[in-house]
Structure 1
């Protein structure tokens, strides 16, 4: 939604862009201890860290997709009397869908990495905690089993978004 707004209203991009840049360049794992201090040791700090890591990736790719729409198609639609909302739903959104899916894929993978890191920093459970526990106890078979599980999750995320893209954005070569 934010990507659609900033591509339609340039002044909104001038307001939002510095914050997005700040989120993209800040290592989210550095913020996890601060989030834990503020929100406690539950799921909340991890969810916030994942959202802060994944959200900007999705937004940047979606905005790129909205900007890459062929202006000739928009001009043609306007010449036939299409409203801004019709142009968005019939032209901009479908043409931006491949980039949105790429953003979701990248965001999901960044989210997975951030979730694991957040569990390593401040979690009492989860795969990140298991990595820390097994490495500190030098239990390498269990450690590599967790690494294999995490790698499999990353691959499944990629395959899921590949299949969704193949189904919903098959026109994009």
Structure 2
């Protein structure tokens, strides 16, 4: 209802004020362009979906492995963790041209961009989750003769799942943004390419079509992660209801 009200206000203000379409098109014209130009936009959308999912999967793998390594080896965490923070202070827009110089216009620099955007929230969330493990249960399992491997897989990792999914939600939405930025490095297809072409030709309606597509993809990824979380972390939801 809030979005519908926003579109109504937007439509009314744009029409009453006489703002030209190239400056601020109405939502009606944006949606019309989306439907009318769907055949041209669809390949770009599909390319971004494939790129974002591949980059997100790679970021998830690297982020989770990094978190496990830093958790199991605390002496490494003290030296590596500051470097992870520094990696997030480097603007991706500034780093992107360097990646093109170093690795060319292929898939590798695009994957590096998306991975840099995605892995950090997953790593931090997983590390925080590992720290939230119940000391009482941990002490009980040690008393029962559990090995370090059993402690990790049967106690620490399950306790970290709620925090891990919080990081996954952030990374899933960031993956779309990272894919669009990576497409500015010289891709042939993608929402980033579509947006660049539309902006250079003053087709503001197409720029908004690309923006709406990015927002929709981010919300879709977020919703999928929420559904997976509800399926995998059912024990936490049941415990919350019981309390």
Please give the TM-score of this superposition, normalised by the length of structure 1. Answer: 0.93
In structure 1, the partner of 2:170 is 106
Give deviations 1:81-132, integer Å, cap 9, x for gaps: 1111101111011110111122122122222212212223543421111111
Output aligned runs, 1:78-89, within 5 Å: 78-89=142-153
CA distance in 2, matches of 1:109, 1:22: 21
CA distance in 1, matches of 2:200, 2:136: 60
For residue 26 of structure 1, give the secondary structure of its aligned residue in structure 2. Answer: coil
Please give the TM-score of this superposition, normalised by the length of structure 2. Answer: 0.67
List structure 1 runs of 4+ shifted beyond 6 angstroms: none
Output aligned runs, 1:63-142, within 5 Å: 63-142=127-206
Segments of structure 1 that go 5 or more residues without pairing to the other structure are: none
In structure 1, the partner of 2:17 is none
Higher relative contact order (CA 8 A, sep 6+): 2
Q: Contact between 2:173 and 2:219, CA under 8 Å: does it hold in 1?
A: no
Segments of structure 2 that go 5 or more residues without pairing to the other structure are: 1-64
Question: Are 1:50 and 2:114 matched, yes or no?
Answer: yes
Q: Contact between 2:125 and 2:167, CA under 8 Å: does it hold in 1?
A: yes
In structure 1, the partner of 2:232 is 168
Root mean square deviation of aligned Cα: 1.4
In structure 2, the partner of 1:153 is 217
Which structure has the greater CA radius of gyration? 2
Q: How many residues align?
A: 173
